[in-house]
Amino acid sequence: MSNHLEKYIGVYDNLVPIKVISKTLKYFNQVKNSDFEKGLVINDNNKNNPVQSEVRKVDVFRLSRSSKSLTQVYFYNILKKIILTGFGKYRIQNPYADIARILEINILKYNQHGKYDYHTDHCFQAVRTLSAILLLNNDYDGGDLCFNLNNEECIIKKKAGRLILFPSNFLYPHRVS
């Protein structure tokens, strides 16, 4: 990683036992497709949140800590613990980083030809400071996380159980290949 912005991208492996990854994948593979919704593109220019499949083609399942399903609450808490464990490691490298709370945990399902073009995770409607991506599987083509840092592409290869933390702001446009 030669770009100075890359030092704020934390990549953490082996935070999640394979058994936990397997159980998580098994559960979410059993969730009905109708429980997923089309991924929206949120920004200040399209306040009505239209689905823009030319930019983002992914299905989203929103986890909630207050779900009526105890299984969903269980997975919310497991994923939250993994993210917070990773954040503890991130904060050692970046002592000024801080998070007040986790806004949301979503399961993203990219089907064949799924994608998300370059974007940032922070906007007026979704005020985020730090983004976390936990890769649950790697048995598919594509799907690498790509950052555009000073017009240089930085690719984070997919690996099951890999947690990636990075600032959500305009300096970290990223895409899913």
Least confident of 17-21, 45-49, 64-68, 113-117: 45-49
CB-CB contact of 131 with 173 (8 Å)? no
Compare 13 and 2 and report the one with higher pLDDT.
Answer: 13
Percentage of residues in the chain with pLDDT exceeding 70?
92
CB 16 within 8 A of CB 75: no
Identify the pLDDT of residue 44.
54
How would residue 103 be classed by pLDDT, with cut points 50, 70 and 90? Answer: confident
At 1, the pLDDT band (50, 70, 90 cuts) reads: very low
- CA 33 vs CA 30, 48, 143: distances in Å: 9, 24, 20
- The share of the chain scoring above pLDDT 90, in percent, equals 53
* pLDDT mean over 76-99: 94
DSSP 88-144: HHHHHH-TT---S----EEEEE--TT-EEEEE-S-BTTB--SEEEEE-----SS---
Residue 80 structure tokens: 């939250």
**Mean pLDDT calculated for residue range 15-31:** 91
pLDDT tens across 159-177, in order? 999 999 999 999 999 998 8
Greater confidence, 141 or 95?
Answer: 95
pLDDT recorded at residue 97? 92
Handedness of CA 82, 142, 139, 76 (dihedral sign): positive
Contacts of residue 172, defined as CB under 8 A and 6 or more positions apart, other chains included, come to 5, 8, 9, 120, 131, 147, 149, 166
pLDDT of residue 41: 76
User: pTM for the full model?
Assistant: 0.88
Beta-carbon contacts of residue 159 (< 8 Å; ≥ 6 apart)? 13, 135, 138
Distance CA 13, CA 151 (A): 27
Residue 84: its pLDDT value, please?
A: 95
CB atoms within 10 A of CB 100: 6
- Examine the pLDDT at 29 and tell me if it is beyond 80: yes
Which of 153, 161, 151, 149 has the alpha carbon at shortest distance from 177?
153
**pLDDT, position 80:** 95
Report the C-alpha gap between 53 and 65 in whole angstroms: 29
Mean pLDDT, residues 107-130: 85
